[in-house]
Amino acid sequence: MDSRAKILGRVKANKPQVDFNFDLNQFLDMQFDNLVESYQNSLEANGGTSLNLSEKGKLEGILLEEVGDKSFVDLTGVINSKTSFNYEDIDQPKDLADVKILVVAGKLGVAENAAIWLDDTILHQVRALPFIVERTIFILDKNNLVPTMHHAYQTLGELESGFGTFIAGPSKTADIEQNLVIGAHGTKSHLVVLV
């Protein structure tokens, strides 16, 4: 018997007997006492921040304060007092290099990990926007929060968009010498305004 056969024989003999047949629907039973609070806790753990807004009328003022004098794209249409960067004539993502902030409405939020769903219907086919800016500001309706990713996929159902992604906070990596780097391949800061 060669060494390969010996090794594989030992692995097979010591393989734990575990039944991996379990019902994925058990995750749909998972609930949180307070979805908004759970979402905010997850977002904070991801390095993002949130504002819980009770009056929608104050939204433009808050967004204007957050945007300040930086170049921004507003895909929500909420900011009327200031001119958004014109993204409609963009030929290539590199033309967005001067845009610092994206204001966008999320379709769905997930409490367990603070992920927000975006797709082409929201991004107007400018898929690079959430990844090329320094700051993302999401507007998320509290009624569009679900407890888990299982609930999210069930809610999303059949996807009709050519592109979709979940974004759960600022870009982070610790691959380089085990040092945490924020904004290495995406946004440096991430704000979610819950309305």
pLDDT tens per residue across span 46-61? 889 998 887 777 888 8
pLDDT > 70: percent of the chain: 96
pLDDT, residue 154, reads 87
Q: How buried is 172 (Cβ within 10 angstroms: 0-12 exposed, 13-18 middle, 19+ buried)?
A: middle
Confidence of residue 4 (pLDDT cuts 50, 70, 90): very high
- Please state the pTM of the whole predicted model: 0.80
Give the ranges where the chain is alpha helix by DSSP (H). 3-13, 35-45, 59-67, 120-123, 129-132, 149-156
Higher pLDDT pick, 95 / 106: 106
How far does Cα 40 stand from its chain's mean position?
A: 13
What digits encode the pLDDT tens for the residues 143-167? 999 999 989 988 888 777 778 889 9
**Three-class SS string for 77-91?**
CCCCCCCCCCCCCCC
DSSP readout, 136-173? EEEEE-GGGEESSHHHHHHHH-S--SS-EEEE-SS-EE
What digits encode the pLDDT tens for the residues 100-129? 999 999 999 999 999 999 988 888 778 888
Please determine, for residue 187, whether its predicted confidence score (pLDDT) is greater than 80: yes
The residue to which tokens 């753990």 are assigned: 45
Domain boundaries, the chain: 30-194
pLDDT, residue 112, reads 92
Higher pLDDT pick, 173 / 140: 140
Confidence of residue 24 (pLDDT cuts 50, 70, 90): low
Smallest CA-to-CA distance from 62 within 186, 187, 194 is with: 194
* SS3 state of residue 32: coil
Q: Which two tokens stand for residue 167?
A: 């974004």
| 30-194 CATH fold | Rossmann fold (3.40.50)
Task: Report which DSSP code applies to 67.
Answer: H
CA distances from 169 to 11, 44, 114, 188 (A): 40, 9, 7, 9
Q: Which two tokens stand for residue 168?
A: 């759960």
Q: How confident is the model over 177-187, as a mean pLDDT?
A: 78
Q: Is 47 left (phi over 0), alpha (psi -120 to 50) or beta?
A: left
